[in-house]
Every structure is written in C-alpha cells, then in structure tokens.
C-alpha cells in the first residue's frame, strides 16, 4: 500500500533558511549516505492557521490537510496520535529545542516567535527554482545563481504532505518540496513528475505583506501546537 499523500499546494511569503535548492546536501539517514535538496521555511506564530492554495486557486488549511493525510494512512486514531507525538509533526517550533543549533547550542537567527517546516526532495527530483518575473519569451525565469536564493529572503513554495513509517523512527508526516519562487528580499540570516509552475505562479508577484491569517480550522491547528 503506498503512503498517503496530499495534492501539491502553494505556501506564500515563507522566510527561507538553510537552503539547498540548486545543489543537494549530503546527509546520513539510518547509516546510509544520501543527497537531498532541502530548505527550511518559517512563518510567524501570529499566523493562527497556515493556509495554502491549490493549483486551481482554492484555499487549503494545511493543518487540516495534515490530519486528513494521517487519517488516510493510520485511521481514526491519527488525530490523537498527532497530539500525543506518536506521529511526528512536520510543523516545528522556532522557540523550542528544534530551533537551536546542535553545533553551537544557540538559537538560529530569525527563529524566535516563528514556526517552521523542513521541505525536501530526492536527488533525482531537483526542485524547480524561479524568479518573480517572466522573461521576454513569457516564461518564468529560472534561477541558476545561488546568490538569488539566500537565507532571510521570502519565497513562495509548492509542496506536498506525505505520511511515512519506519521500523526504527516510527510514524511521521513530512513535506516534499517541488518548486520555489523568489518573492521578496529580507534581512539575511546566517547559513544558507513535477507540477506545472504556471498553475501556481504569476509573472510579477505582489511585494506587499502576507495576507492576514484566517481563523478557520483552529481545531486542527491545535493538534500541532
């Protein structure tokens, strides 16, 4: 039976950190060396509900979608297991131990007062990276310069949620990274079958502040607090 997975959806104005989008990062997982593309993306805790958009423009409550994917995978006990920590959450606390560097013991810059997620892709599925404008040919300009993808800037990202289960690491939800679009500059922080981008990204994006958070679905959000 394949693991449960959500459809692709876009998250807007997410602050990037530790970005490995153009070149995969060497990682060791369960004693096996792998190369993965990845990035960490933050949003303020004042955003009560994390909302995404599907390729047809419909709003999607990301917390509710996470519960739906978990329930599809593990049944009606999934919400209780999420709340108790049996199912590992993909939504992390920048003010908690997950926001602290294991090397220095100090909290990562910019993580205070924020939640964050880590999104990744396998070596053979490099995320597409786009600038916020179209070229003369009308197509979105692809980013090839790593200096354009820096920690502290804001991005629109296209991701999906998926369930996993491992004999050693237990059960969890993770986030797959499909596409990244530069949205606007920000103060630099330390460190650094895909979907159709035209379904998600406009040629020139609004440089204003992110829209106010909706209050819908706080019950699902509470499971991941």
Task: For residue 28, give the DSSP letter.
Answer: E
Give residue 17's pLDDT: 96
Please state the length of the chain: 225
CB atoms within 10 A of CB 17: 25
1: in domain: no
Q: What is the pLDDT of residue 23?
A: 94
Give the model's pLDDT for residue 221.
Answer: 86
Listed as ranges, residues in the chain with pLDDT below 50 are 192-193, 205-207, 209-215
Supply the pLDDT for residue 193. 43
Which pLDDT value is given to residue 45? 96
CATH number for the domain harbouring residue 36: 2.40.50.140
Which H or E element spans position 174?
strand 170-184
Contacts 24+ apart (CB under 8 A), 21-27: 21/127, 21/129, 21/149, 21/180, 22/126, 22/129, 22/143, 22/144, 22/146, 22/149, 23/146, 24/123, 24/126
Task: Judge whether 39 and 19 are in contact, CB under 8 Å.
Answer: yes
Cα distance between residue 220 and residue 52, in whole Å: 15
Q: Which domain holds residue 144?
A: 9-223
| Phi, psi (rounded to 5 degrees) for 106 | -100, 155
pLDDT at site 167: 87
Look at residue 42 and tell me if it is in a domain.
yes
10 secondary structure, DSSP code: E
Which of 147, 154, 128 minimizes the C-alpha distance to 139? 128
Q: Residue 4 domain-assigned?
A: no
Q: Which helix (H) or strand (E) holds 142?
A: strand 140-142
Give the ranges where the chain is alpha helix by DSSP (H): 62-74, 78-84, 218-223
Check if the beta carbon of residue 111 is closer than 8 Å to that of residue 42.
yes
- Contacts of residue 92, Cβ cutoff 8 Å, sequence gap at least 6: 98, 99, 115, 116, 117, 118
Instruction: Tell me, yes or no, whether 81 lies in a domain.
Output: yes
Mean of all residue pLDDT scores within the chain: 89
End-to-end CA distance of the chain: 30
Residue 90 lies in a domain: yes
Element (H, E) at 215: none
Residue at 133 is within a domain: yes
Number of domains composing the chain:
1
What DSSP designation does 5 have? B
């Amino acid at each position: 039976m394949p693991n449960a997975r959500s459809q692709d959806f876009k998250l807007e104005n997410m602050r990037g950190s530790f970005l490995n989008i153009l070149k995969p990062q060497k990682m060791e997982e369960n004693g096996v060396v792998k190369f993965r593309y990845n990035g960490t993306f933050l949003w303020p805790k004042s955003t009560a509900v994390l909302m995404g958009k599907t390729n047809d423009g419909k709003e999607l409550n990301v917390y509710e979608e996470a519960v739906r994917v978990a329930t599809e995978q593990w049944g009606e006990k999934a919400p209780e297991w999420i709340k108790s920590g049996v199912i590992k959450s993909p939504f992390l606390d920048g003010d908690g131990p997950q926001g602290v560097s294991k090397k220095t013991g100090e909290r990562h810059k910019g993580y205070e007062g924020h939640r964050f997620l880590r999104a990744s892709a396998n070596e053979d599925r490099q995320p597409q990276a786009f600038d916020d404008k179209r070229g003369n040919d009308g197509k979105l300009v692809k980013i090839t310069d790593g200096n354009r993808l820096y920690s502290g800037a804001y991005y629109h990202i296209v991701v999906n949620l998926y369930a996993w289960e491992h004999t050693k690491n237990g059960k969890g939800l993770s986030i797959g990274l499909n596409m990244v679009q530069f949205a606007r500059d920000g103060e630099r922080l330390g460190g650094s079958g895909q979907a159709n981008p035209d379904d998600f990204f406009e040629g020139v994006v609004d440089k204003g502040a992110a829209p106010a958070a909706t209050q819908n679905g706080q019950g699902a959000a509470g499971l991941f607090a």
